[in-house]
Copies of this chain bind each other. A is one copy, B any other.
Amino acid sequence: MTDQRPIPGEIPSDATVPKVVVNRLSLYLRELQRLESAGQATISSGQLGALLGFSDAQVRKDLGFFGQFGYPGVGYRCDELIRAMRDILGTNQLWPVVMVGVGNLGQALLGYRGFVRQNFRIVAAFDADPAKVGQSFDGITVRPMGELPAFVREQAVRLGMIVVPTEHAQAVAEQLVAAGVDGIVNFAPVTLTLPPGVQVVAVDLAIELEQLSFAVTSRLQTDSDSESATHADGASPADDSEPETEPPA
Binding site for B on A (CB under 8 A): 11, 13, 16-17, 19, 22-23, 25-27, 29-31, 34, 51-53, 88-91, 95, 97, 100-109, 111-112, 114-115, 117-118, 120, 127-129, 131-132, 145-146, 158-159, 162-169, 171-172, 175, 182-194, 196-249
CA distance A23 to B233 in the complex (A): 8
Contact B164 A246, beta carbon cutoff 8 Å: yes
Q: From residue A167, how far is it (CB to closest CB) to chain B in Å?
A: 8
Contacts of A223 in B (CB 8 A): 196
A197 closest partner in B (C-beta): B222
Contacts of A202 in B (CB 8 A): 231-237
CA distance A183 to B230 in the complex (A): 10
Contacts of A207 in B (CB 8 A): 23, 26-27, 30, 234-237
CA distance A211 to B88 in the complex (A): 10
Point out the residue from B34, B95, B102 that lies within 8 Å of A244, measured CB to CB: B102
Q: From residue A7, how far is it (CB to closest CB) to chain B in Å?
A: 18
Q: From residue A122, how far is it (CB to closest CB) to chain B in Å?
A: 10
| Pairs A–B under 8 Å by Cβ, sample size 14 | A89-B214, A101-B246, A103-B242, A104-B108, A118-B209, A128-B249, A129-B243, A171-B246, A183-B215, A187-B237, A189-B238, A200-B232, A201-B231, A207-B236
CA distance A111 to B62 in the complex (A): 39
Q: From residue A128, how far is it (CB to closest CB) to chain B in Å?
A: 5
Contact B206 A114, beta carbon cutoff 8 Å: yes
Contact B244 A165, beta carbon cutoff 8 Å: yes
CA distance A92 to B195 in the complex (A): 36
Contact A213 B91, beta carbon cutoff 8 Å: yes
Contact A112 B205, beta carbon cutoff 8 Å: yes
Contact B230 A199, beta carbon cutoff 8 Å: yes
Point out the residue from B26, B53, B187, B216 that lies within 8 Å of A239, measured CB to CB: B187
